[in-house]
C-alpha cells in the first residue's frame, strides 16, 4: 500500500505543476493580445487624425483658390492698385463653410507695365494693351491648416488706360 500512495503523490505533483504553467502561458497570451489590441486602437486613432488633417489642408487649398477666383473676377480692377497700395480683402468666409476663410492682395504690376497685344490683337483690332496684375491669396481652415497661392494674369484694355 505504501508504493501505491507514492505513485498517487507523484501524479498529483505533476498535475499541479502543469496547471500552474498553463495559467502563466494563458496570462502571457492574454497580455500579448491586449498589447496588440491597444496598439491597433492607437494606430487607428492616429490614422483618423492624419486623414482629417489632409482634409483640412485640402479645404485651405480650396479657400485660397476661391480667393484667387474672387480677385480675378473683382469688378474694380484698376491700375491704381500698386504693390505699395494694393486692394486688400481680409478674412472673408468661404460661402457654405463655417471654418474656411480666405484673404487676398491684388495689385497692378507696374514693373511689367502695359504690354502691346502681340500681332496687333489679330481680330481684336488695334489700340489694345495687356495689363499685368498679381494676386496673392491665403486660405485657412480648421486645425490651423493654411495655404498660400500667388497668381498673375493679364487684362486686355485700351492702350494708355
pLDDT in tens, 13-71: 555 556 578 888 999 999 999 999 999 999 999 999 999 999 999 999 999 999 999 99
pTM over the 0.95 mark: no
Q: What is residue 157's predicted lDDT score, i.e. its pLDDT?
A: 81
Determine contact, residues 71/107, Cβ cutoff 8 Å: no
pLDDT in tens, 131-155: 899 999 999 999 999 999 999 998 8
Report how far residue 63's alpha carbon sits from residue 104's, in angstroms, rounded to the nearest whole number: 11
Helix (H, G, I), strand (E, B) or coil at 98: coil
Mean per-residue pLDDT for 119-133?
72
Burial class (CB in 10 A: 0-12, 13-18, 19+), 68: buried
Determine contact, residues 154/78, Cβ cutoff 8 Å: no
- Angle at CA 48, nearest 5°, toward 44 and 51? 135
Centroid of chain to Cα 51: 9
pLDDT band at 91 (very low <50, low <70, confident <90, very high): confident
Domain holding 25, by residue range, is: 2-158
Based on the structure, what is the number of domains in the chain? 1
Amino acid at each position: 500500500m505504501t508504493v501505491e500512495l507514492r505513485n498517487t503523490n507523484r501524479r498529483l505533483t505533476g498535475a499541479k505543476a502543469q496547471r500552474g504553467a498553463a495559467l502563466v502561458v494563458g496570462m502571457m497570451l492574454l497580455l500579448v493580445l491586449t498589447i496588440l489590441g491597444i496598439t491597433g486602437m492607437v494606430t487607428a486613432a492616429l490614422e483618423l487624425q492624419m486623414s482629417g488633417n489632409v482634409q483640412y489642408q485640402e479645404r485651405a487649398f480650396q479657400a485660397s483658390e476661391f480667393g484667387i477666383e474672387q480677385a480675378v473676377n473683382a469688378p474694380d480692377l484698376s491700375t491704381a492698385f500698386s504693390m505699395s497700395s494694393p486692394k486688400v480683402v481680409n478674412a472673408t468666409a468661404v460661402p457654405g463653410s463655417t471654418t474656411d476663410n480666405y484673404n487676398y492682395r491684388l495689385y497692378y504690376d507696374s514693373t511689367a507695365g502695359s504690354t502691346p497685344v502681340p500681332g496687333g490683337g489679330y481680330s481684336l483690332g488695334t489700340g489694345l494693351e495687356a495689363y499685368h496684375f498679381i494676386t496673392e491669396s491665403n486660405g485657412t481652415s480648421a486645425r490651423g491648416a493654411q495655404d498660400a497661392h500667388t497668381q498673375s494674369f493679364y487684362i486686355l484694355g485700351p492702350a494708355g488706360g
